[in-house]
A = this chain, B = another copy of it.
Amino acid sequence: MINVSIIGATGYAGAELVRLLSSHPGVKIRHLVSHSQAGKEFADIYPNFAGSHLTLDALDTAMLAQDSDCIFTSLPHGTGDNVIAQLFAAGKTVIDLSGDYRYNDVSVYEQWYGVKHAHPELLCKSVYGLPELHRNDIMGAHLIGNPGCYTTCSILALAPAVKSGIIDNKSIIIDAKSGSTGAGRSVSQSMHFCEVNESVKAYKVAVHRHTSEIEQELSLLAGADIALSFTPHLLPINRGILATSYANLAQDIDSDALYGLYTDFYKDSPFVHICKPGTLPEIKHVVGSNYIHIGFVPDKRLGRLVLVSCIDNLIKGAAGQAIENMNLSFGLEEKTGLDFPAWYL
């Protein structure tokens, strides 16, 4: 049994970690930490846990280090730095869901997040927790920067195309649409039900932080710097991301060849499903699961590739992928505790 604790358990990603970990056969939940709600029962905040008898603790790093093998930190970027450093120094495995440990180059982080990094010396110790690209590095890793939700959905759609060189890397455009849990649980006028319902908007056009994360990983695959357009949109649904990605084809390639390229690239990745030519994913095909579904349409008329990819932003885009990383880090089978289909309804 892996003893796990969660810091930031009352946010949406934190609560999803609690939900998924409570059904995971290989873990024991030790502490749920909440700054603002310490002392309360978890079920007072999330009544879907009625009868669970989970309680919220204040942050006590020493206690966490003593009782836990693995700590998930689900805090706003910049706020968990010191506790992460302490837990890592204590030899614990830390899986961080913020943007703090996702970057190889601290200057990229500091430029896009607009803050100084408190522990830049740790970045070289951290692993980017996208199993499909870094599975071997994640096995045994003790500091894992869990990828962003938009990022996961975008990188996995484009990775085989970028790696194989079939597209013009200067022409990449990602148009992504996300459910509202992606904005987190904090209250604001713009997240009021009546402001979101029956509407859609684009936001942070050309400046969303996840752009830099996508560029980092695709550049690594390409072996050359990639800069791309990324536009996020807010959807009036709870969960799910659909990303539509565009790139000019650098060579002629048909659907069967694309299907072969993609299925081969992900042949060892249990959570990637490549849609057969002629079919495309929908958000409801993946919500509730740790899967990503990827479909493609080569537009011969224009010499352009269109990719459509879908994930559950709270699972493959956050909590589920964090557990997948834990499984790999601790030597469990990658699908442990995550091997269930999407809800569909």
The chain A residues found within 8 Å of chain B, CB to CB, are: 12, 15-16, 19, 22-23, 46-52, 171, 173, 175, 177, 180-181, 185, 187-189, 191-203, 205-206, 227-229, 231, 233, 235-240, 242, 244, 246, 273, 275, 279-289, 291, 293, 297, 299, 301-302, 304, 306, 308, 314, 339-345
Q: Which residues of B contact A194 (CB under 8 A)?
A: 12, 180-181, 185, 191, 238, 345
When A198-B284, A280-B202 are in contact, do A344 and B46 touch as well, CB less than 8 Å?
Answer: yes
Evaluate contact between B197 and A238: CB separation under 8 angstroms: yes
Asked if B192 and A301 sit within 8 Å, CB to CB, the answer is no
How far does the Cβ of A238 sit from chain B's closest Cβ, in whole Å? 5
Once A19-B344, A50-B291, A52-B341 are accepted as A-B contacts, the answer to whether A240 and B199 lie under 8 Å apart by CB is: yes
Q: A203-B280, A280-B205, A344-B19 are in contact. Are A48 and B286 (CB under 8 A)?
A: yes
Name the B residues within 8 Å of A22 (CB-CB).
340-341
Contact B197 A236 (CB under 8 A): yes
**B-chain residues with CB within 8 Å of residue A12 when the two chains form the complex:** 194, 345
A285 CA / B282 CA spacing, docked (Å): 26
B50 touches A205 (CB 8 A): no
Q: List 17 A-B contacts (CB under 8 A).
A: A47-B293, A48-B286, A173-B304, A177-B200, A193-B193, A193-B195, A197-B197, A198-B198, A198-B237, A198-B239, A198-B287, A199-B283, A201-B283, A202-B308, A206-B301, A231-B244, A236-B237
The 6 closest A-B pairs by CB, nearest first: A48-B342, A199-B284, A201-B282, A175-B175, A206-B299, A193-B196
Residues from chain B with a CB closer than 8 A to the CB of A280 are: 201-203, 205
Measured between C-beta atoms, what is the minimum distance from A183 to chain B in Å?
8
CB closest residue in chain B, given A241:
B200
> Which residues in B have their C-beta under 8 angstroms from that of A16?
345
Contact B181 A345 (CB under 8 A): yes
Closest to A228 in B: B302
Q: Which residue of B lies closest to A25 (CB)?
A: B25
Among candidates B49, B206, B284, B302, residue contacting A306 with C-beta atoms closer than 8 Å:
B206
The residue from B47, B171, B187, B299 contacting A189, defined by CB atoms under 8 A apart: B187
**Is there an interface contact between B180 and A177, defined as CB atoms closer than 8 Å?**
no
Find the B residue at minimum CB distance from A246. Answer: B173
- Taking the closest CB of chain B, its distance from the CB of A277, in whole angstroms, is 12
Q: Which residues of B contact A275 (CB under 8 A)?
A: 50
A199 close to B282 (CB less than 8 A): yes
In the complex, which residue of chain B has the Cβ closest to the Cβ of A180?
B193
Is the pair B205, A240 in contact by a Cβ cutoff of 8 Å?
A: no
The answer to whether B193 touches A191, judged by C-beta atoms less than 8 angstroms apart, is: yes
CB neighbours (8 Å) of A187 from chain B are 187-189, 191-192
List the B side residues contacting A192 at CB < 8 Å. 185, 187, 191-193
Contact present for A177 and B240 (CB under 8 Å): no
Cα A244 to Cα B231 in complex, Å, equals 9
Q: Roughly how many angstroms separate A275 CA and B50 CA in the complex, as a whole number?
A: 9
Of B23, B287, B343, the residue contacting A19 (CB under 8 A) is B343
CB pair B201–A242 under 8 Å, yes or no, is: yes
